[in-house]
Amino acid sequence: MEANFFMGMEVISLSMNMGQKFFGNRIYFLGIGGVGMGNVAILASKLGYDVCGSDKKLYAPMDDLLKKNNISFFDGFSGKNLQIFQPHLVVVGNVVTRGNEEVEYLLNGRPYPMTSLPEFLNNCIIGRRNRVVFAGTHGKTTTSALAAFYLRKLQISCGYLIGGVPIDFDSGADWGDASAPFILEGDEYDCAFFDKRSKFIHYMPDVVAINCIDFDHADIFHDLRDVQRSFSHLLRSVPRSGHVLINGDDSNVEAILPAPWTSVIRVGWGGKNDFQLRDFSSNGGESTWSVSGEKTFFTMQTSLIGRFNALNATMAILATSTAMQFSLPSTIDLRAFHGVLRRQQRCYEDERVIVFEDFGHHPRAIEEVLAAFRDRFPKNELIACFEPATNTSMRNVLAGDFCKAFSNCDRCYWGKPRCAKNIPHGERICIEKVMETLAGCICEAKHFEENQRLQEYLIQVLNGPLESSKKRVVVLFSNGSFPGVLDQWRSHE
């Protein structure tokens, strides 16, 4: 790969296949601790960019990954950070807002040009490569990781950007070979404080797969229709020669169609789908099922649990085979895929308990995960602990959905809400009512004002007598750090 750098104001060229040229090679990532930002920073560093960044206190896994890849970063925000590094371009993460000291420094006099992460990725990293984008409210991280894993297994050196940490890869981003496709996790969240469009709008996919659509990110979208509008804009960027794969069983996805300018392929369990999943079975830690199409039939195996992961895996395989235009074998074995950190990941086990952590924070995702664990551990007591940490999870509009989701467990404990004060009182979820409703259909439902109290109570429950010889199974749901709970279980490893 060609990589010629000239300091000062000379043009940098990172290969004939990459995107637009810009002056200089010093790239500063403002908000580098985000999973997407950190992974792109690592990718940029591997491509020869001089990379630095800043963030407030980082937590695992990104702090470890950045250090492992010798990427320096400032702890905290200050205009002095930028003065020290003297960047040629600043990539601004979407968690950074007006009022941030570095943002205000950049706006006052505009000493350095700035861009959003997806725009930087599109213009300066991917270039003209064939792009496969995995989108949807849930499952896109695992699906994009599966797609990259499968192509690499076939000795196809695809590039990828995954908004998480795949266990089978060194990081969530890699350049690969310019002749192979680039796999992208298509996030519907906004780009930056100055660009409120969904990130995936910049990705211009040749193939896009959409697993599901739900109302989420209430700080960005007004309602479900607003979310669907953004996904419909994504479809408009698919070329006539491209392909759209959708979950044909999801009416929320179906509502963004038609897209007559391109090919639409439906995938799902129902008989109306172009590719139908059948005969799902779960035996221990493995899942098997078959997929049938008009001229296609193959079976699949994974070590992932749940029907939702079966759909994720099927989407990954069909999207990559469509992009590469290759035929599929009669059996596809993905049991060597170990998943993504914090997705149904076992973090502790002893003779009495198994503890998993999961990134789930939306009721539909939580419902699917708990259903999978109920199927995997049918005779075990199932305990769910939840950190309500997102703008959406703290809104009353999803209260009924949360009650339905957690009815799949035996005991449910909610920790300290993280952003309740940001929600207008009339729109705020009443956790007491959710617990009251759940207490009528499961063994126990409680919420705690402090996470440490939740952890102490959970230990008491786990030390109590078992009604059978089966271990208790605990699932810790959080898209944050779940302080006072999650780290204490990780420390047992």
Give 249-301 pLDDT, tens digit per residue: 999 999 999 999 999 999 999 999 999 999 999 887 899 999 999 989 999 99
Does 311 share its domain with 264? yes
5 within some domain: no
Helix (H, G, I), strand (E, B) or coil at 416: coil
Domain housing 365: 345-490
Residue 392 has pLDDT above 90, yes or no: no
Does 448 share its domain with 360? yes
- How many other CB atoms sit within 10 Å of the CB of residue 169? 18
339 within some domain: no
Task: Tell me what the pLDDT averaged over the chain comes to.
Answer: 90
Does 313 share its domain with 368? no
Task: Tell me the average pLDDT across 216-239.
Answer: 94
CA 332 to chain centre: 24
Task: Tell me the average pLDDT across 86-101.
Answer: 96
340 within some domain: no
DSSP state at residue 87? -
- Please name the residues in contact with 60: beta carbons below 8 A apart, sequence gap of 6 or more: none
- Residue 491 is predicted with a pLDDT of 60
Residue 7 has pLDDT above 50, yes or no: no
Task: Tell me the average pLDDT across 348-365.
Answer: 93
- Give burial (CB, 10 Å; 0-12/13-18/19+) of 179: exposed
299 within some domain: yes
361 within some domain: yes
Bridge partner residues of 472 (DSSP): 353
Question: Residue 99's pLDDT band (boundaries 50, 70, 90)?
Answer: very high
Of 259-268, 313-322, 451-460, 479-488, give the lowest mean pLDDT range: 479-488
CA 137 to chain centre: 9
Does 157 share its domain with 268? yes
Residue 4 has pLDDT above 70, yes or no: no
Burial readout 238-267 (b: 16 or more C-beta within 10 A, e: otherwise): beeebbbbbbbbbebbeebeebeebebbbb
Residue 14 has pLDDT above 90, yes or no: no
Of 7-21, 210-224, 392-406, give the lowest mean pLDDT range: 7-21
Does 187 share its domain with 308? yes
Tell which of 121, 149, 179 closes a domain: 121
0.75 surpassed by pTM: yes
Of 47, 41, 129, 148, the C-alpha closest to 87 is 41
- Residue 219 is predicted with a pLDDT of 84
Please report, for the domain that includes residue 237, its CATH number.
Answer: 3.40.1190.10
Task: Tell me the average pLDDT across 454-468.
Answer: 91
Question: Which H or E run contains 107?
Answer: helix 101-107
Question: Residue 446's pLDDT band (boundaries 50, 70, 90)?
Answer: very high
Bridge partner residues of 50 (DSSP): 26
Does 289 share its domain with 193? yes
- Residue 338 in contact with residue 303, Cβ under 8 Å? yes
Does 358 share its domain with 294? no
Residue 377 has pLDDT above 60, yes or no: yes
- Residue 256 in contact with residue 232, Cβ under 8 Å? yes
Does 289 share its domain with 325? yes
Tell which of 282, 311, 334 closes a domain: 334
In the chain, the number of structural domains is: 3
- Please name the residues in contact with 317: beta carbons below 8 A apart, sequence gap of 6 or more: 146, 147, 150, 300, 328, 332
- Residue 309 in contact with residue 280, Cβ under 8 Å? no
Does 158 share its domain with 287? yes
Does 304 share its domain with 378? no
Of 5-19, 104-118, 425-439, 457-471, give the lowest mean pLDDT range: 5-19
d(CA 372, CA 344): 10
The pLDDT > 70 percentage for the chain reads 94
Does 53 share its domain with 115? yes
d(CA 277, CA 271): 9
- Residue 10 is predicted with a pLDDT of 36
**Residue showing tokens 């925000």:** 77
Question: Residue 492's pLDDT band (boundaries 50, 70, 90)?
Answer: low
Please report, for the domain that includes residue 408, its CATH number.
Answer: 3.90.190.20
The pLDDT > 90 percentage for the chain reads 76
- Residue 281 is predicted with a pLDDT of 95
- Give burial (CB, 10 Å; 0-12/13-18/19+) of 211: buried
- Residue 324 in contact with residue 156, Cβ under 8 Å? yes
d(CA 172, CA 473): 29
Q: Which residue has the higher pLDDT, 474 or 424?
A: 474
Q: Tell whether the torsion through CA atoms of 260, 261, 262 and 268 is positive or negative.
A: negative
Helix (H, G, I), strand (E, B) or coil at 209: strand
Q: Which residue has the higher pLDDT, 338 or 420?
A: 338
Of 162, 178, 182, the C-alpha closest to 170 is 162
**Cis before residue 61, ω within 30 degrees of 0?**
yes
Give 53-78 pLDDT, tens digit per residue: 999 988 767 788 899 889 999 999 99
Q: Pinpoint the alpha helices (H) of 109-267.
A: 117-121, 140-153, 224-236, 251-254
